[in-house]
Chains A and B, each alone.
Chain A
Amino acid sequence: MSSLKKSLFYRIDGVMIMLYIFLVIIGLLTVFSVEHRSTDVTIFMANKNYSKQVIFFGYSLFLGLIILLTDSKFFASTAFLGYTVGVFVLIITIFIGVDVKGSHSWLGIGSFRFQPGEVCKIFTALALAKFLSLPETNFKTLRHRLMGVALALGPAVIVLLQNETGLALVYFCFLLVMYREGLPNAVLVIGFSLIALVLGTLLVERKLFFVLLTLLAALIGFMMRSLLRRKMAPRIILGGAWVFCIVFSQLAVPMVFKHVLKQHQIDRIYSMLGKEVPVEYNKNAEEGSDEKKVNASEYNVLQSKIAIGSGGFWGKGFLNGTSTKNQFVPEQNTDFIFTAVAEQFGFIGSLTLITIYVSLMLRIIFVAERQRSAFTRIYAYCVASILFFHFAVNISMTIGLAPVIGITLPFLSYGGSSLLSFSILIFILIRLDADRQAMIR
């Protein structure tokens, strides 16, 4: 043990640290490009957000150091305690939270404000890891499975009560971890299929979607033809799935849209995707008023698409993005930070950034799979899933593939809560990984 302790520096995962620092530096430069004005006298200005972000980065590194110096057992042993405190803070936030754009998810201590929902992800990840790695937990039983799901989604319900939908959805990423730990395949398949079905129904033209679904069913049927020939059940399942999809996309959704939902609700759903409401659902159009209200989200996504699309292959160059420089994209510092990268560095920049993200996530899975400790492995999967969810949904919403829910791009978006909580996530993982040779907990 003593020899291990001495060489802590050599045991931490350099690749992860490197990718982490890469991303934070890209983030700093991007926030700088968003905030910088040609009229600025000096580069470092205390009142600008990028300066604050540098300070937050400093805090993160300091916290990271403390975490690295902490005994790795500490995290496992305090996991449930932390979770309890986290949930408690979440609950009181509903009542004493600061009202920011209609959500009560922020706590203010003096001039410092933070979002408990962001921080609580860490506690939830630790608690879930702890729960699943407990010797008495048998994840093959339904009872334990439900307990796991409740543990993961409990905070989500509270965050939802705080009126912060985006953040609440993040907690669903823990389902991916539980899948790794033994939830049946069907959960994943059905979950992804449902997401694909809903998005497809909204984004793809209805008749084309019918053809696509039918082709998909035929393809699956062709691939599994031997199985289908032998057994009855798969036939029923495949047929049933096809019928369900068709009914859902061709009948149920149009019916609900036409007769149940109010116009403003339809507008909201489509504007979150940055799309215009199709004529058939536009009840105002029938009344003959062609006054088109541009919804806030629709405007955001349009501006975001303009910034990204105009970047082209090579980009407009650092500090030369016309949309970025002149603040056309709303929330560009935080939720729409990706647009700044895509506009200034083009497709090449986007490709590089996405490659770094995917590398980091794959590295984390690689790290997870080399653990002897189940706790560390599950925690690593939690980190990877949270990163993945944030990354995928954030970028998708800037290009109109996902609804606009306010979640940040890890390490890039401006904001203390976000950067600090992601840093803590990563550093705890690094600390746990450093002790992978130690005895199994």
Chain B
Amino acid sequence: MSSAANPRQYIIKLIFIGVASVILLRLFFLQNFESKYKVMANDIAIYKKVVYPPRGVIYDRKGKVMLSNTTIYDLMVTPRNIKNFDTLQFCNALGLDIPGFMKIMKGVQSRNIDVRQSTFMEQLSPEQTARFQENQFSFPGFELVERNIREYKNATAGIVLGYIGEVSVDMLKKDRYASYRQGDYTGLSGLELQYEEALRGQRGVHFFERDKFNRPRDPYRGGALDTLEISGKSLELYMDADLQSYAEKLMQNKVGSVVAIDPQTGGILTMVSSPCYDPNLLRGKDRAKNYGALYREATRPLFNRATQAAYPPGSTIKPMTGLVALSVGAITPSFGLACYGSYNYCGRPIACEHKDGGHAANFRLALAHSCNSYFSHIFRLTIDYKSFGSVKVGLQKWHDYFSACGFGRQSGIDLPFEGKGLLPDTTTYNKMYRGVWNSCTVVFVGMGQGELALTPLQMANSMAIIANKGYYYIPHFVKSINNNYNDPLLKKYHEKKVVLNIPDSSFSAVQQAMQDVVESGTAIGAKVDGITVCAKTGTAENKALVNGTVIKMANHSMFVAFAPKENPKIAIAVAVENSGFGATWAAPIASLLIEKYLKDSVTVKRKSVEDKMFNAKLINKYVYTIDSAIRTHDAAVYKAKLERKHFVDSARRAQDSTLFIRWMEKRTRKK
């Protein structure tokens, strides 16, 4: 047998080679042509880690940090890794009780499988973190994970700085948020929203290999595919953090707003919308809760009055009325009016504070004494000016002047959701009076009442125009982005805006008159030693619409000013709602701010005024009543709308089901 070759050895060899060939053939196709396995291998084994860079820091004009980032900790747990540990000690460290602990643990276990890490507690307080870290080694399975959140250093300027939050599903559908993903944070208001692109930075993507428990291990291909994160750009503001907190303190317990602008650059030094809130409330885990509470607040702290609220300017508009009258040539500075306590040329008399004959003998005197008759008259003279031909052309011309000064339109400030205010033009009145009107019909506009309404920002900006004698820069907050003063985002704020063609002499006259207001007129209380302040007080009548009835409310105390006259450094507008005369509240607040800004401190002799302002509580009780009335009304409207929608939906459903039943019947009949 051994000598003759047995044929069966070849058959067995053939079987070996044949089976090996079949295996090789299968492997050849599997390894070279079935690319789905490559995709699957990458899917299961490659973990894409998104690294978020720190958001940009915001500094004030002196380099003080206003908004930065801080690290907080989330407590994560991997249930499988938990070994025996002292539950009581653990609970003490975190301030929990045992049932609470059990509840969270149960929740964690039902949410996730044992081997995966999940959140046990979000955003631990510093004390919790410290106590946990002390004993971290005795709690295996628990781990602190770092997270960055925003920190508002002085807890000021919340309305300006804004806040961030997770992008919502609706936002993600928009093109603007194309580069965002669920769970990303984005600015939702204020500068955080306006400069989102700069502050955000660029997130980095790191690829890791992960094991079957989903734990990241080594960098994939040594990190060759990774992109590095780029940290957010820092912003330098014109804002003065000290002045800001001082202003907020002056405005506490009042409803109103303050806007201060540097006329030479258009940079905003201070912007307060009172009552203020602590911006630190609007971050982290309690954001939604706190937001709700602030939203429900009757005084509406989330509403930026400085850029969104439209106040009737009252007498503070008089410098502008005068300026336009002088500019078009309707009057000369020496024009005088004999006023004996009321203006009687237009039917119903318009009251004036002063009765002595000479108080409106010329423009300076009239402005210093804030004579209503005088300004009503010169407003009429302006729009009825003979070279315009008709009152309609005249009013439009006046509108153009005011519009050029920024009234009735958005200024373009670098804050989102800016208001426009109200500036009437011919169309407005044609609509209101069906085309039949004359200068007497609209006379109240001349003294800042009627259809005219301005935002505090617009008022402050008009002061900047008067201070600069005819030009302004669009008010803005940001001086530089990452120390680049010529960032494209800031380009429009470097353009000098010249306001029509108003002669210098008109400005001089108005400035002179405004100086008199402080030195011998209605705003003597606003005088600052050693500084020539030009100002105008205002006491604005206002009404509220509550449940369909118009109610006249206490006057707004208004004040506008700029200083110093020769080399203006600050232009300011203050509005204190429903508090009375402009000279009583708004004027001292503005002058204290001017003093603080220009001299860095307030003199001892004005401490009493300061204290008075700090302590005054000027929020009227009816604010709450009116607010609740408005909210009830809004809720009713919303409910009605919802009900209507619900009704339509149910009707449609009913129809659908009828159709379906019919179709079913037809089907069964066929069968």
Q: What residues make up the interface of A, taking CB atoms closer than 8 Å to B?
A: 37-38, 176, 179-180, 188, 192, 305-313, 322-323, 325-328, 342, 346-347, 350-351, 354, 357-358, 361-362, 365, 368-369, 371-372, 374, 377, 381, 384, 388, 392, 395-396, 399, 401
Q: B13, A399: Cβ atoms under 8 Å? A: no
Tell me whether A342 and B27 are in contact in the complex, defined as CB-CB below 8 angstroms, given that A308-B37, A312-B32, A388-B16 are known contacts.
yes
Given contacts A309-B40, A322-B220, A384-B16, 19 further A-B contacts (CB under 8 A): A38-B217, A179-B12, A180-B9, A306-B44, A309-B30, A309-B36, A309-B37, A322-B42, A326-B210, A326-B211, A327-B211, A328-B211, A347-B31, A354-B27, A365-B9, A392-B20, A395-B23, A399-B23, A401-B23
B6 interface residue (CB < 8 Å to A): yes
Top 6 closest A-B pairs, CB basis? A309-B37, A310-B41, A322-B45, A326-B211, A347-B31, A310-B38
Chain A nearest CB, measured from B225 CB (Å):
13
B553 interface residue (CB < 8 Å to A): no
Q: How many of B's residues come within 8 Å of A, CB to CB?
A: 40
CA distance A419 to B36 in the complex (A): 35
Among the listed B13, B31, B218, which residue makes an inter-chain contact with A350, where contact means beta carbons less than 8 Å apart? B31
Among the listed A188, A357, A395, which residue makes an inter-chain contact with B11, where contact means beta carbons less than 8 Å apart? A188
List CB contacts (< 8 Å) of B356-388 with chain A.
none
Chain A nearest CB, measured from B240 CB (Å):
53
Residues of A within 8 A of B8 (CB): 179-180
Tell me whether A322 and B28 are in contact in the complex, defined as CB-CB below 8 angstroms, given that A306-B40, A369-B5, A371-B2 are known contacts.
no
CA distance A180 to B17 in the complex (A): 16
Tell me whether A322 and B37 are in contact in the complex, defined as CB-CB below 8 angstroms, given that A342-B31, A392-B23 are known contacts.
no
CA distance A290 to B391 in the complex (A): 79
Q: A328, B45: Cβ atoms under 8 Å? A: yes
CA distance A354 to B16 in the complex (A): 11
B34 interface residue (CB < 8 Å to A): yes
Tell me whether A309 and B34 are in contact in the complex, defined as CB-CB below 8 angstroms, given that A322-B209, A328-B212, A396-B23 are known contacts.
yes
- Chain A residue nearest to B24 (CB atoms) is A354
Q: A325, B23: Cβ atoms under 8 Å? A: no
B26 interface residue (CB < 8 Å to A): yes
Q: B31, A312: Cβ atoms under 8 Å? A: yes
Tell me whether A388 and B212 are in contact in the complex, defined as CB-CB below 8 angstroms, given that A180-B6, A305-B37, A307-B41 are known contacts.
no
B293 interface residue (CB < 8 Å to A): no
Chain B nearest CB, measured from A396 CB (Å):
6
CA distance A374 to B8 in the complex (A): 15
Q: B20, A357: Cβ atoms under 8 Å? A: yes
- Chain A residue nearest to B31 (CB atoms) is A347
CA distance A179 to B12 in the complex (A): 9
Residues of B within 8 A of A176 (CB): 12, 15
CA distance A380 to B32 in the complex (A): 36
B22 interface residue (CB < 8 Å to A): yes
Q: A362, B16: Cβ atoms under 8 Å? A: yes
Residues of B within 8 A of A306 (CB): 37, 40-41, 44
CA distance A401 to B22 in the complex (A): 10
With contacts defined as CB atoms under 8 Å apart, how many contacts are there between chain A and chain B in the complex?
123
Tell me whether A369 and B212 are in contact in the complex, defined as CB-CB below 8 angstroms, given that A309-B41, A312-B31, A401-B23 are known contacts.
no
Q: A326, B24: Cβ atoms under 8 Å? A: no
Q: A308, B30: Cβ atoms under 8 Å? A: yes
Residues of A within 8 A of B19 (CB): 388, 392
Q: A325, B34: Cβ atoms under 8 Å? A: no
Q: Can you list 13 A-B contacts with CB-CB less than 8 angstroms, sorted by A residue number?
A: A305-B37, A306-B37, A306-B44, A309-B41, A322-B41, A327-B212, A346-B31, A347-B32, A362-B17, A369-B6, A377-B2, A399-B23, A401-B23
Residues of B within 8 A of A392 (CB): 19-20, 23
Residues of A within 8 A of B5 (CB): 369
Residues of B within 8 A of A323 (CB): 41, 44-45
B239 interface residue (CB < 8 Å to A): no
CA distance A310 to B31 in the complex (A): 7
CA distance A38 to B211 in the complex (A): 13
B269 interface residue (CB < 8 Å to A): no
Residues of B within 8 A of A308 (CB): 27, 30-31, 37
Residues of B within 8 A of A372 (CB): 2
Q: A313, B212: Cβ atoms under 8 Å? A: no
CA distance A180 to B36 in the complex (A): 43
CA distance A307 to B5 in the complex (A): 43
Residues of B within 8 A of A350 (CB): 24, 27, 31
CA distance A76 to B19 in the complex (A): 32
Residues of A within 8 A of B517 (CB): none
List CB contacts (< 8 Å) of B13-61 with chain A.
13, 15-17, 19-20, 22-24, 26-28, 30-32, 34, 36-38, 40-42, 44-46
CA distance A325 to B217 in the complex (A): 10
Residues of B within 8 A of A322 (CB): 41-42, 45-46, 209, 220
CA distance A308 to B5 in the complex (A): 40
CA distance A147 to B217 in the complex (A): 58
Chain B nearest CB, measured from A205 CB (Å):
17
CA distance A206 to B16 in the complex (A): 28
- Chain B residue nearest to A401 (CB atoms) is B26
Residues of B within 8 A of A37 (CB): 217
B1 interface residue (CB < 8 Å to A): yes
Tell me whether A313 and B41 are in contact in the complex, defined as CB-CB below 8 angstroms, given that A38-B217, A325-B209 are known contacts.
no
Q: A180, B212: Cβ atoms under 8 Å? A: no
CA distance A358 to B24 in the complex (A): 12
Chain A nearest CB, measured from B412 CB (Å):
53
Residues of B within 8 A of A371 (CB): 2
Residues of B within 8 A of A358 (CB): 16-17, 20
Tell me whether A399 and B24 are in contact in the complex, defined as CB-CB below 8 angstroms, given that A180-B9, A308-B31, A377-B2 are known contacts.
no
Residues of A within 8 A of B31 (CB): 308-309, 311-313, 342, 346-347, 350
Q: B23, A354: Cβ atoms under 8 Å? A: yes
Among the listed B16, B22, B30, B211, which residue makes an inter-chain contact with A361, where contact means beta carbons less than 8 Å apart? B16
CA distance A306 to B35 in the complex (A): 10
- Chain B residue nearest to A385 (CB atoms) is B12
Residues of B within 8 A of A388 (CB): 15-16, 19
CA distance A212 to B1 in the complex (A): 40
Residues of B within 8 A of A180 (CB): 6, 8-9, 12
Residues of A within 8 A of B40 (CB): 306, 309-310
Among the listed A313, A326, A365, A374, which residue makes an inter-chain contact with B12, where contact means beta carbons less than 8 Å apart? A365
- Chain A residue nearest to B34 (CB atoms) is A309
Among the listed A307, A354, A381, which residue makes an inter-chain contact with B20, where contact means beta carbons less than 8 Å apart? A354
